[in-house]
Amino acid sequence: MPTSRTTADPGAPGPALGRRVARRRAELGLSTEEAADRCCAAPAFLAYVEEGRAVPGPGLLLRLAEALRTTVAELSEEGAPALVDGPQPPLVEMDESECRELLAGHGLGRVAVFGSEGPDIVPVNYLLAGGEVVFRTSAGSVPAAAAGADIALEADHFDENGKGWCVLVQGPARAVVGYDAVLRFEEQAEHLPWSGGASGLWIALSPVRMTGRKAAPAAAPPPRA
């Protein structure tokens, strides 16, 4: 999926969080793509964060802090409390089999696509089928722009203590055609479409790259003698 290296000027006006993220990324000499890869996010969404056009959730904020070698408190607005109490759990990489296992047990993710008005991030309900990640939407919607393009899908889960995981799937997507294939996906689907309404178009993402990280629990202190 094409991505732009143009990001917000660290000194430009805008939300403090976005400016801090951009400034810290620049201090480390990282491109938008490199920083996004470290925190398991789509580069277009990270650019939106830096520009003040999107606000990262708690999970992404934790991953950003880890990727940028800083803390949630330092990235957050001045005076805002940290999202976790104590040291942040370190992020460790997962292999593809673990990524697939976590994806299969989740079902809600975000798709990054390029629509008529530029890059966009939209939530979707998905399922794993035959090695592909499939989701349904409606013709003419933002997710429908994924058909015939290279896209990214991200899913994550973090608890209030900052422990959890994130998985990023990248590859070409296609519209699913054929009555039997559509019926099979409809029978497997456990969730209604995230946005509701008529959603008869299924999109299948064929993974070319699947990466993931999880926040490992802190090691227990050794018992006292």
Q: What is the pLDDT of residue 30?
A: 92
Within a domain: residue 222?
no
Within a domain: residue 3?
no
* Residues 26 and 118 grouped into a single domain: no
CATH number of the CATH domain containing 158: 2.30.110.10
Within a domain: residue 184?
yes
Within a domain: residue 10?
no
Within a domain: residue 143?
yes
Within a domain: residue 140?
yes
* Residues 65 and 134 grouped into a single domain: no
* Residues 124 and 176 grouped into a single domain: yes
* Residues 74 and 102 grouped into a single domain: no
Within a domain: residue 50?
yes
* Residues 143 and 210 grouped into a single domain: yes
* Residues 78 and 105 grouped into a single domain: no
SS (H, E, C) the chain: CCCCCCCCCCCCCCCHHHHHHHHHHHHCCCCHHHHHHHCCCCHHHHHHHHHCCCCCCHHHHHHHHHHCCCCHHHHCCCCCCCCCCCCCCCEEEECHHHHHHHHHCCCEEEEEEEECCEEEEEEEEEEEECCEEEEEECCCCCHHHHCCCEEEEEEEEECCCCCEEEEEEEEEEEECCCHHHHHHHHHHCCCCCCCCCCCCEEEEECCCEEEEEEECCCCCCCCCC
* Residues 97 and 204 grouped into a single domain: yes
Q: How many domains does the chain have?
A: 2
* Residues 54 and 103 grouped into a single domain: no
CATH number of the CATH domain containing 32: 1.10.260.40
Q: What is the pLDDT of residue 29?
A: 92
Nearest to 204 by CA among 222, 184, 225: 184
* Residues 101 and 184 grouped into a single domain: yes
Contact predicate 82/71, CB 8 Å: yes
Within a domain: residue 5?
no
* Residues 154 and 189 grouped into a single domain: yes
Q: What is the pLDDT of residue 119?
A: 75
Q: What are 69's two structure tokens?
A: 């070698």
Q: What is the pLDDT of residue 215?
A: 76
* Domain encompassing residue 40: 16-82
Per-residue confidence of the chain (225 residues) as pLDDT tens digits?
333 333 344 433 346 888 889 999 999 999 988 888 887 777 877 888 888 777 777 777 877 888 888 887 788 765 444 444 445 556 788 999 999 999 988 888 888 887 777 778 888 888 888 888 999 888 888 888 899 999 999 998 876 556 788 899 999 999 888 767 767 766 666 554 544 444 678 899 999 999 998 876 555 555 555
* Residues 76 and 99 grouped into a single domain: no
* Residues 104 and 24 grouped into a single domain: no
